[in-house]
Each structure stands twice: as structure tokens, then as C-alpha cells.
Structure 1
Amino acid sequence: MKIKLNIWLLLGVLLMAAAFSGCDDDDEELNNDPIVVNSVFLQDAESTVPDRPVDFIRLGQVLRLEGSGFTGIRRVFVNGYNTYFNPVYVTDNSMLLQVSRDTPTSEAEEDVRNTIRLVKTGTEKVIPLEIRAAAPSVSRISHTMPLPGESITIYGSGLVEIEKVVFPGDVEVTEGIESDEDGKFVTVTVPDGVSDEGGSLFVLGANGGAYSPAYFNFKGGVILDFDGRGQQGFWSWSETGTMINAEDLESEVIGTGNVSQGNYVAHRPARLESFNPAANRRSEVWTAGNDVDDWRGQLTPYIPATTPVNQVAFQFDVYVPEPWGGTGFLKILLMNNYNGGEWTGFVYNYLPWIVNKEVVPFETTGWTTVTVPFSQFYGFSSTETDFTFEDVLAAREAATYKNFGFFFENSDVTLSNVSGNAADSEVVIESAVFDKNVYTDNWRIVSLERPVYSDFPEEEAAAE
């Protein structure tokens, strides 16, 4: 009985060995099958051509290799960088691969630069393919309504070796452009002839092209510049009062680099030496409001009422010649329905001297642009409601007093009101006497939407 049992056990072992040997033979064959790549495709669901044959790929993009012999691939190297791939998306004739944003480009070793290396146990394949850095992007512009001849800084990423900047009105600049080595910013001098209709800046460099939001030199969005565009409103003025009238405006040329433009407002008027602490509404300045302001008529020809509030913003230029920190802030009010001290409703409190929950004194050498999307106004900040520009227009139209304006507040600041984190509610920054100067000018409503840039010109033309 034992002999028969041992024979059956032996036969079972032999059969299993044969089976494993067969599997090993199959694996060995797959591992040695040559890898053939016939085509490389860019996979982009948002493109008009979601499966496009290409001869280059950018960091972060997904490519599809088409050919044969992909089964058994163990490792993939892009520019020498060991790149993860999901075997679920590999068949013998096709393979999906996302190029990691950590892949080196110009820093890659020369012998592996612009290559994709596919490795199996018994063979490998090197594919020559241009690997480009991620497309550049523009996050903000230092001044969006500068004077011709002034320098501006365009901030973003991938802004390497910028060779051309195109201003609204198709005014091109190709000389005097200075790019940051890390691609974080580029400086350029503003030319003559920029269109007053405004629009996006376009930059083109080593990594491709990018557009800014369509807010550069948008004169049609100005609601008050203290020089004829828009109308200032004031009432109940007194020598020691909070109201700022036309006589309080200043016009001396101030600022370095980007200078003042005609009249502007000092939020601590020269007639007031300082503001006491623990007090709100220390000064106030307004548009004319009722029967004068017409946002719907002025703005909706350029910015549709259906535009999401995170794509429409209030912009203004600010100049702070001395360090400002620890006390005082500007309250931006959609209408004149507030008394001061609010951290809710259709207002936004501007405190540039709080950065990452720390007091960091703020100052500027010249005038610079501040952009506040309407989604940051407290009454439109809920992510549970899809607010549009129509909600902003309707809120103003329903107001008793339709003046748009600023308060200068000098009260204590509870950090949670700034950070939005309830855990910071016990941190209070106590106010102090304020005797600095904060100036603003060129109040305007702008669009944050931007054209879509594509590496493929026919797509960009279709988008326009």
C-alpha cells in the first residue's frame, strides 16, 4: 500500500514539474520575444484628437505604444528615469505609460536623453522620442495695467528661455526679455500700442507657449480710476471724518518702476495723522452707486453673467512704500450695506501681511496688481453652491445702496477668520496705532478665463 501511494505521489510531482516546466518555457519565450514599436500616440481625453500620433511627449502626459512583444516588460526608463507603469494596461500589442513629472529633461545624461527604454528579462528596446518638460503656465502678472515703457514680471512655471511675449493687440516683443533659470518668472518691458480692450498675454519659450488670464490692460472693466473712468461718490464729509472725497485724492508721482497714474486714493488721508487701534471703518472711499454704477451694462458684454465666480475677479493696483504689518487691513465691499468689522457677507478683507499664518510685513517698490476672485468674497465662497457672475450682479442690484468701495479697518484680527481653520480661533493679533500709507488705484472687474494653448496649432485655432 505504501509503495502504491509513493508511486502516485511521484507521478504527481513529475506532472507538476512538467507543468511548471511548460510555464517556464512559455515565460522564457515571452521574455525573449523582440519588442517592436510601430507608433507612439498621445492620449488626451480633452483634446479634439484624443489618440494622436506624436514624435514628442511632455512630462505628465500619457502615451500609448503600439506594436508587439510588450508582454513581459519588467521595467521602463524614460530619459534614464525608472518610470512606474501599470501592467493592467499592457497587452502584447499595446501599452499605456504616464511620463512622470520627476523625469529629468535637459539634466538627463546625454546618452539616455530623449529615449524610452523598455526592458524584459531576455531583451530590451530603446525608442528615440523627444521628451519635453511640462508645458509652461502663467499664474499672475505683477502689474496688469502698466504704462508703456514700464517693466512687468510674469510669474508661473516652466517659463524657460522665453523668446517672445505677445501683448493684446498682437503687439510682439522679442528683445529685452529676461527669463529666470528655474522658469518661475520672466520680465519684459511693456511696448507702445497695447490694446485698451485688453486680453491675455502670450509667452513662448523652450517649453512651449502659455496664456495669462484675459485681464491685461482691460480698460473696459474699470469701475473707478479717479481720473474720469467711473465716478467717485462721497457725502457727510468732515475734516476729521472717515469719508474720503475728491479733495483727499493725491496726484504726486510716486512709486519706483511702476509709477502712479494721475489721481489715486490714500486710505489714510493726509489730513489724518493716524488711526487708533481696536476700531473699524477708519476711512471709506466709494463709487457713486445708485443711478450711476451699471455693472450689468458695462461688464456683461465682455464677461457673460453665466461665468463662474472663480473666473471673475476684482482687481486693483496698490502701493505700500513702508513695511505694513501687524495692524490694519482693507475691507472690499460689494455694496454700501456694512458698518465695519464683518468677516461674512459680500465683502473680502485684504491682509497681505499675514502669510502662512505668520505676520510678514508687506511693502512694494512700485505699484502692483492685486487680484481677488469673487469666489473669495465670503458670501460667494461656499463650494456647495455654483455661484456665477449673475449672483454678483443680482446682489448689487438688490442692495439699497449700490456703492462699491473700501473701508480701512484697524481692529484686532482673529487668525481663524484669515486661515479658515477653527483651530486658530484662539490666536488674536492685537491692533495698534496705524500711521503708514496704503494707496490704491484703477479699480476694475476682470475675467480670469484664458485661451487654451496647444502644441498642435490646428487645435488652438479651433479653440479660438
Structure 2
Amino acid sequence: MYRQENKNEIFMATLLYKVRVWIGGLIPLALLATLPLVTSCSDDDDNGSASIVVNKVFLEDAQAKDSVTDREVTFARLGQLIRIEGSGFTGLKKIYINGYDTYFNNALMTDNDVWVTLNTKTPVDKADASVRNTITLVKDNGSYTYKFVIRASAPTVSGVDNTLPSAGETVIVRGANLQETTHLMLPGGVEVTDGITSDPDGEWYSFTMPAGVTQSGSITSEGANGTAVTPAYFNNRNCMVLDFENSADLGSWSATYKYDDLVDDPLGSGRGKVVELVPQSVLDGGGIKAGANSSLWASTGNDYANDDWNRMTQFIPGSTPVDSVALQFDVYVPDPWMATGQLEISLQNNLSNYGYGSGGTKYNKDYMTQAYVWVPWMDTETGAANSFTTGGRWTTVTVPLSKFGRYTDKDNEYTFKNVIDDRNSGSYRNFIFLLVNSDIEYDESISYPAANFTSRIYLDNFRVVPCTSVTVSDY
């Protein structure tokens, strides 16, 4: 924090020095530092009647990585400080940015330069078309409008809904400032320009998965606020754990469901065989009683090469931090799921207790904990319950490995190789998941007693993916 503040102080001192030089060195630096308190200047200067001309706009970038703190730009974002370069600024009365009356300190102004911060209240996509992407400077003898692109904060991606879609399925990319997305580049250079729908508030955009996408990686989007890039997990099957297409991948013993318990994809999307978390035969028999668990769905385990995740390090380096690696799976929930039932996942078959808040989901210095519990009908931030459904489509759930058991410990810097070694050190390294139907006690005031579970939950394509967020530099 100290170093950041120090950099800003140096930047402001440099800016004040530049203004002093531009003005002609006539104002002592100590006095110049107090000039932001001055709110007006004489209109009787020699150039007060000169017409305004704008030549260029510069960004005053205190955080510039290349130390170029004053650079010519073709756009700027809300909250940024810009320098407008031209002539005839003496006597300037108003600056309108996208039609918004924007404060400027005319003590920090010369006839050739004026500094102004783009107010965060400035309209961008909601600005009237006649003034959008304009800077208008006004003084008594006239005004001058300069075309200049104004953007909101940089677009960001928080997640992708349906990362392993079949052709024709809908993909939704969620985030912020994604307004007016008009162009997408999918892995392998596949472009999408038609059929893109954007949320007016910039919280998502969607498109239809085209045929012919064979490579994996990121989705790059272009919109009103610039470029956004998703993590490199789109169309990524490189580190598949279970896709249920090969009976040899499934473990089979008395505690498990078997390959014959799989069902065909109920939506016919091309996913082939999928899991019905609680098989229909069990639902027909009354479902899972309160306080009980389903049988396990499990991978083959110790003697099966697929269960040694060292095979994945050719795609995800073992040194990758656990918060940059995730488990993904696809889910289809056709009917509202509410107030009972939990999906528990463990990276190895060693659970001795089950459910939300159980020991297997927490750090324990004496026990190898590698479990996570997904409760989509409960807000884990507030404890509030809301019914959950995916409607008539498959969606993707992404869970960073830092949410599994021991890796929730913030005092250690775990890597993907730690996860692999921990799995391989266990007596039974089967990847498992099951329906747990125990009570949930969120806190002293919020609890959810279990009831008979009879919901249809379909799952497919459990895979490990990279999930590192991508920051796009503007300059």
C-alpha cells in the first residue's frame, strides 16, 4: 500500500512540474501545488478570443507499467485523468463529455493544455447518440467538439455458463461492462459476429455454439468497453476425469452405482451417456430419505492410469496455484430443486463424514481432506434459500480447487502438484460424488432440515481445467 501511494505522489509531483514548465516556469512549484483550490481565471487574457482547436488527447497514467505516464490515446475510461492538447483554451468555461457537464480546474490549464478527470457518472452506452463519444469545450465566443471514444471500466469475465457445449447450444459469458458485444473469437480462430445477444447492463452476453470448433482455450470478445478474455477453459476436454462414455472408467463395488445405471442425455444434446444423480429406479422407490445418502458414483481408482492426475500436468503445470485450477462439470436440473439435498464431491474415496460444513470440506492438519459440497439452492454468502433449475438446458459449474478441503487453508500456498500428490498418497484414489441428504445448519439462526429427496439431477463431463483470470491491458 505504501509503495502504491508513493508512486501516485511521484506522478502528481511530476504532473505539477510539467504544468509549471508548460506555463513558462513563472509560478513557484510550492504555490502551484495549491492551485487546485483556485476555481477561476481571468477572461481578459490575450488569447481569450481565439477559437478552440483540439489536436490530441493524452492519458495521465500513474500506474503505467512502462513508466510512460503521459501517452497519446484514442479512448479513455471513466475515472481516468486526461490531458487535452490544442490551442485557444484561455477563457474556457465548460467541458461536456458525452454531454455530461464535467468539472475541470482552470488553474491547471494553459492555452494549449487542460486536464480533466472523466467523472464516473458520465453516461456511456446510455448517452444520447448525438453526443456519445464526444468532448465539447465551450467559452464565450463559441465551442469545439472533438470526437473521442469514452468507455466505462474495462470489461471483465466472472464465468462462462456452458463451457463444453455441443454445436447449436447457447453459451452465456457473465461478467461486467460487457455491453454491446459484437465480435467473438473462439479457440482455433473461429469468429462469431451474428446472433450475439448482450445484456444492456453489461452483465452477460450470449451466443450459439457454431459447428467446427475443435480447439480449446479462451473466448475473446469485443464490445463498447473494449476487449474481454475468458479463462482458457472453453471447449477444454484435455483433463477429463469422467465423461461416462467408457465403462472401464467407472469404479464398481457394493457401494457404487454401475455403468448400467447411466442414462442417455435427456436433452439429446450429443452428450451421450450421463449420470442421473439419484437413478430413476431409486426415485420411483421413494427417493433418498432424510438423513440418508445415495450410493457413490466413482472412478476406477488405484490401478487405473486415468486416475493418476500427473497425466494432466502436460496441460496444467504442476506449479499452478490451486485457485487457478478448477473442477468443472455440466448439470441439467429440469425441475426446481429446493431446500434439501447436496452434491458432495471428493477427490479421493476417504470420506468419514458427509454434507455441508463437514470435516471433509475443511482444512485438517492431521487428515487428508479433499471434499467440496455444492448446494445450488442455498446462497453461501447469506444462507438464503432459492429454488434452483437450469431450465431446458445444460449449464456448467466451475469450482476452484482452493474450495476443496485442505486447500481452503489460506496459510499455505498449495499447487496443483500438491493436489495430485495428495490423491496419489491415499489408500483409495477414486474420484467420487454422491447425493447427501442431511440437515444443513448454516448458522445459529438459519437451518434447513432434510426432507425426502425426489428431484431429477443430471450430471456429465467432470474435468479439471485452468481457470486463471485474464487481464487485458488497454495500452
TM range (shorter): 0.7 to 0.9
2: CA distance, partners of 1:32 / 1:232 = 86
With over 3 angstroms needed to count, the CA separation of the structure-2 counterparts of 1:290 and 1:74, relative to structure 1, is farther
With over 3 angstroms needed to count, the CA separation of the structure-2 counterparts of 1:303 and 1:123, relative to structure 1, is farther
Q: Which residue number corresponds to residue 462 of structure 1? A: none
Aligned residue pair count: 412
Q: Which residue number corresponds to residue 190 of structure 2? A: 171
Q: Which amino acid aligns with 2:414?
A: F
Give 3-state SS (helix, strand or coil) of 1:380's partner. Answer: helix
1: CA distance, partners of 2:404 / 2:425 = 17
Assess if the C-alpha contact under 8 Å between 2:109 and 2:115 holds in 1.
no
Give 3-state SS (helix, strand or coil) of 1:219's partner. Answer: coil
Pick the aligned partner of 1:361 from 377, 380, 387. Answer: 387
Q: Which residue number corresponds to residue 3 of structure 2? A: none
Q: How big is the shift at 1:104?
A: 0.3
Any unmatched runs of 5+ in structure 2?
Answer: 1-34, 363-368
Give 3-state SS (helix, strand or coil) of 2:327's partner. Answer: strand
Q: Which residue number corresponds to residue 180 of structure 1? A: 199
Assess if the C-alpha contact under 8 Å between 1:223 and 1:229 holds in 2.
no
Pick the aligned partner of 2:245 from 191, 205, 227. Answer: 227
Greater Cα radius of gyration, structure 1 or 2: 1
Q: Which residue number corresponds to residue 223 of structure 2? A: 205
With over 3 angstroms needed to count, the CA separation of the structure-2 counterparts of 1:321 and 1:111, relative to structure 1, is closer
1: CA distance, partners of 2:327 / 2:59 = 38
Q: How big is the shift at 1:306?
A: 2.1
Pick the aligned partner of 1:139 from 127, 151, 158. Answer: 158
Deviations 1:269-312 (A, max 9, x none): 23323111123x42211112213245543221121222222221
For residues 14-53 of structure 1, the aligned pairs below 5 Å read 39-44=56-61, 45=63, 47-48=65-66, 51-53=70-72
Pick the aligned partner of 2:414 from 387, 403, 410. Answer: 387
Assess if the C-alpha contact under 8 Å between 1:260 and 1:367 holds in 2.
no
Assess if the C-alpha contact under 8 Å between 2:78 and 2:122 holds in 1.
yes
Q: How big is the shift at 1:340?
A: 3.1
1:57 correspondence with 2:67 = no
Q: Which residue number corresponds to residue 105 of structure 1? A: 124
Assess if the C-alpha contact under 8 Å between 1:223 and 1:230 holds in 2.
no
Q: Which residue number corresponds to residue 449 of structure 2? A: 430
Give 3-state SS (helix, strand or coil) of 2:184's partner. Answer: strand
2: CA distance, partners of 1:340 / 1:249 = 26
Q: Which residue number corresponds to residue 446 of structure 1? A: 465
Q: Which residue number corresponds to residue 440 of structure 2? A: 413
Q: Which residue number corresponds to residue 318 of structure 2? A: 305
1: CA distance, partners of 2:308 / 2:59 = 44
TM, length-normalised to structure 1? 0.77
2: CA distance, partners of 1:98 / 1:371 = 38
2: CA distance, partners of 1:372 / 1:87 = 52
1: CA distance, partners of 2:224 / 2:204 = 14
Deviations 1:84-117 (A, max 9, x none): 77999x5869776543443102433566543446
Q: How big is the shift at 1:413?
A: 0.3
Q: How big is the shift at 1:439?
A: 1.5
2: CA distance, partners of 1:381 / 1:96 = 47
2: CA distance, partners of 1:27 / 1:408 = 67
Q: Which residue number corresponds to residue 326 of structure 1? A: 339
Give me the CA root mean square deviation. Answer: 3.5
1: CA distance, partners of 2:77 / 2:124 = 10
Deviations 1:16-66 (A, max 9, x none): xxxxxxx9xx99766766699765323453555654311321234443456
Give 3-state SS (helix, strand or coil) of 2:340's partner. Answer: coil
Q: Which moved more, 1:71-80 or 1:443-452?
A: 71-80
Identity %: 39
TM, length-normalised to structure 2? 0.75
1:153 correspondence with 2:172 = yes
2: CA distance, partners of 1:384 / 1:448 = 21
Q: Which moved more, 1:128-137 or 1:27-36?
A: 27-36
Assess if the C-alpha contact under 8 Å between 2:53 and 2:144 holds in 1.
no
Q: Which residue number corresponds to residue 9 of structure 1? A: none
Give 3-state SS (helix, strand or coil) of 1:264's partner. Answer: strand
Deviations 1:245-287 (A, max 9, x none): 2121112x313xx7361111122123323111123x4221111
2: CA distance, partners of 1:109 / 1:190 = 34
Q: Which residue number corresponds to residue 347 of structure 1? A: 371
1: CA distance, partners of 2:160 / 2:413 = 27
Assess if the C-alpha contact under 8 Å between 2:157 and 2:229 holds in 1.
yes
